[in-house]
Structure 1
Amino acid sequence: MRTERNLARLDRVFTRLDREPERPAHLVVPEMSRHRIALFAGTLAFYVAIVWAVLITSWLVRLDWQVMFFRPYQQWPDIHAFVDYYVVLGQRGPTAVMVAAWLGWRSWRQHTLRPLLALGVSLLLLNVTVGAAKIGMGRLGPHYATTVGANEMWLGGDIFPSGHTANAVVTWGILAYLASTPRARRWLSALSAVTSLGVGMSTVYLGTHWLSDVLLGWAAGLLILLALPWFEPLIARAETWLLALRDRLRDRLRDRLRDRRGRRTRARRPATAPVRLTPVPEREEPPAREPVAAPRTRAPAYLAPGPHTVRADRTPVTPAGSRRPAPYADRSPRSTAPAARPVSGG
């Protein structure tokens, strides 16, 4: 009976990863439609209106000072610790790392570099546009204000527009921009809007930004997200070039590994003599030598000359005398009796 092994939770996760599909045939790429162009134009007009209202020191600047004097961090001190952690969702470093990790996994799953390239283009646009506006207008923040009721412009600050708010709009909004289904796009758009709104109000609560800074930060981030479809052809060309470069590097590395493996195989084989391609001249045979007679060996002295005879053909020879030695002279023969000994009397 065949039994299947019960897969652990981690094994099930890796099993699903092994079943990842190939690159989708039709990726949903947002286009610059009329609706999007209208939203872009309206957001740009709102951006210009906020800047103009601050420049002429309108009612918006007076509202900024009223909120600053209200000091929300003193009115609700219980949520101060939570707001300190929540405002991290608008910092560029931590949010970029988190979103890049998620989009990197999506790029690997869908076999495309578009999510990572779209994130890179959006962050580049964010740094250029928002950074240029901060340095160009040079507005001071609430903690560094010098004159009550003034707009605090061109005084060397870098607070207008709010970088935390714009970064929250772009970083979390790119997830909705790259969503694969309309339903996911709607949910992620609402989530990113709430997150960026909370980040902007957190900076106002902590007193690090004016309210007008937050409004301009929202507009700046939304302009970048609405303008991304114009950069889709550039993203597609960059993806094609990077994939071709990857293939060339992979082929070159494969060839190097193959050559190295071939060198090791040839080094392990025994060395063989090289094959000579030039014809070898025929050698002349040496002249034949006269046969030399074998040296004559002298027969040993104990061998009789003449032909050797077999033992059975020899003539028996009887020795002339007995070969027994002669008896000793001082001994008497055994057959003679011993001489009588004299008897002496007493």
Structure 2
Amino acid sequence: MRTDIFARLDREPEPPKIEIPRMSRTRLALFGGTSVFYLAIVVAVLASTWLVLIDWKVMLFRPYQQWPELHAPLDYFVVLGQRGPTAVMVAAWLGWRSWRQHTLRPLLVLGTALLLLNVTVGAVKIGLGRLGPHYATQIGSAELFAGGDIFPSGHTANAVVTWGILSYLATTPRARRYLSALSAVVALGVGLTTVYLGTHWLSDVLLGWAAGLLILLGLPWCEPLIGHAEVAILSARDRLRDRLREGRRGRASAPALPVAPVATGGLLPAMQPQRAAEGLEEPVRETAAGAGASGAGAHASSIRTTLSQPRTHAVLRSERTPVTPAGSRRPPRSRPATGG
């Protein structure tokens, strides 16, 4: 029996129309400004400017030693920027929304954003190869091209993208405002937490915020591709469903295999065909039960035809011929006569 919760979900009206964000002038201006900020941070670190000096001052201040009581809770809070757990949580929510709205767009948008995040942020990380604060070797150095992978901050960029997707996919302006504020607070908190823990430079966090924001602002350019992917996936699902239905109907309507007719009369003795071939006995006529059955009559006729054909090549002993006992075929030795 269905519970009240599922009954209420079934009665819940679906959104009449899902508004897909487009690349407006405001969004395009924000994208351009964020791109300039992104390039400025990269150039400032490459040139070892005042930004690198601030990185070192914050690192030598060691915030985790100044406020050690915050270390334990912030260790858990920073998980909100870790890619694996956050992707699972957000994907579960968006999967439920996809089921309710009968569309794959929420999941496809999340997958596209995470793919762009991995490609763009990962390429810059590997290309610049910056070492983190705990592995720095020279005070005042930018620690670039040393085999590291912390610039930009992956936790920060992932927090911006993963939680910002919720506001991007919001269906009402009110929900979009609330979710935008919530995702901004989480992204800012995760970035500053990595600085507190000493796992990232301050410039890493700044570049991570910019990298995640660029992905969110550029998602409308990916909407046509997402729409084509959704249509292709749903079409493939429908074709597979039709094939399965046709297979079930074919199995249900398949004719039954014919069963060979079986004679209902008694079984003939094993030696009767041989004796009939020698002419010792007349062939036994088949008496089939149910003379009106056409299958049994045909079978009995075939048996009579087979029995009536003589076999000239078979030479059989008579039943009265003694059979040599098993064992040696040598005739028994006669006992010598004993006389007086």
TM-score by length of 2: 0.74
- State the distance in 2 between where 1:202 and 1:257 align: 58
What is the number of equivalent residue pairs in this alignment? Answer: 261
Give the structure 2 partner of residue 71 of structure 1: 62
2:55, 2:10 → 1: CA distance?
55
CA distance in structure 1 between the aligned counterparts of 2:36 and 2:219, rounded to whole angstroms: 18
SS of the residue corresponding to residue 88 of structure 1 reads helix
2:193 alignment partner in structure 1: 202
Does the 8 A contact of 1:21 with 1:110 survive in 2? no
Task: Indicate the structure (1 or 2) with the bigger Cα radius of gyration.
Answer: 1
In structure 1, the residue matched to 2:234 is: 243
Taking the aligned partners of 1:16 and 1:250, their CA distance within structure 2 comes to: 29
Q: Which residue of 1 aligns with 2:250?
A: 259
- Matches of 1:131 and 1:20, distance apart in 2: 42
Aligned equivalent of 1:53? 44
What TM-score, normalized to structure 1? 0.73
Q: What aligned pairs does 1:12-31 form with structure 2 within 5 A after superposition?
A: 12-21=4-13, 24-31=15-22
| SS across alignment from 1:186 | helix
1:130–1:220 contact (8 Å) kept in structure 2: yes
The one of 78, 89, 105 aligned to 2:96: 105
Question: CA–CA distance in 2 between the matches of 1:144 and 1:79?
Answer: 23
Question: Counterpart of 1:230 in 2: which secondary structure?
Answer: helix
Residue of 140, 161, 164 corresponding to 1:149: 140
**Distance of 1:154 and 1:11 partners within structure 2:** 60
**Dislocated runs of 4+, deviation >3 Å:** 269-273
From 33, 36, 42, the counterpart of 2:33: 42
1:261 to partner: Cα distance: 2.3
2:295 maps to none
- Gaps (5+ residues) in structure 1? 1-6, 274-346
Determine if contact 1:21/1:109 at 8 Å carries over to the other structure.
no
How far does residue 257 in structure 1 lie from its aligned partner after superposition? 1.5
How many angstroms does 1:161 deviate by? 0.1
2:74 equivalent to 1:83? yes
1:330-345 alignment runs, 5 A limit: none
The alpha carbon displacement at 1:18 in A equals: 2.4
1:191 counterpart = 2:182: yes
How far apart, CA to CA, are the structure 2 residues paired with 1:121 and 1:169?
A: 14
Does structure 1 residue 178 correspond to structure 2 residue 178? Answer: no
1:166-187 per-position Cα deviation (integer Å, ceiling 9, x unaligned): 0000000000000000111111
The one-letter code sitting in structure 2 at the alignment partner of 1:127 is N
For residues 249-280 of structure 1, what are the alpha-carbon distances to aligned partners after superposition, in whole Å with 9 as ceiling and x for unaligned?
A: 111111112222233xx44x98699xxxxxxx
The answer to whether the 8 A contact 1:20-1:109 is kept is no
Please state if 1:62 is matched with 2:53. Answer: yes
**Counterpart secondary structure, 2:149:** coil
Mapped partners of 1:141, 1:12: distance in 2:
53
1:142–1:210 Cα contact (<8 Å) kept: yes
Q: Please list the CA deviations of residues 210-261 of structure 1 after superposition, one character each: whole Å capped at 9, or x if unmatched.
A: 0000000000000000000000000011111111111101111111122222
**TM alignment of 1:308-323, pairs within 5 A:** none
Distance in 2 between residues matched to 1:259 and 1:135, nearest whole Å: 56
Question: Equivalent pairs: percent with the same residue?
Answer: 73
SS at match of 2:3: helix
2:116 aligned with 1:125: yes
Distance (Å, rounded) in 2 between the aligned partners of 1:186 and 1:25: 20
Q: Match of 2:219?
A: 228
Q: What is the alpha-carbon root mean square deviation over aligned residues?
A: 1.7
Please, which runs of 5 or more residues in structure 2 have no aligned partner? 262-340
Q: 2:18 is matched by which residue type in structure 1?
A: L
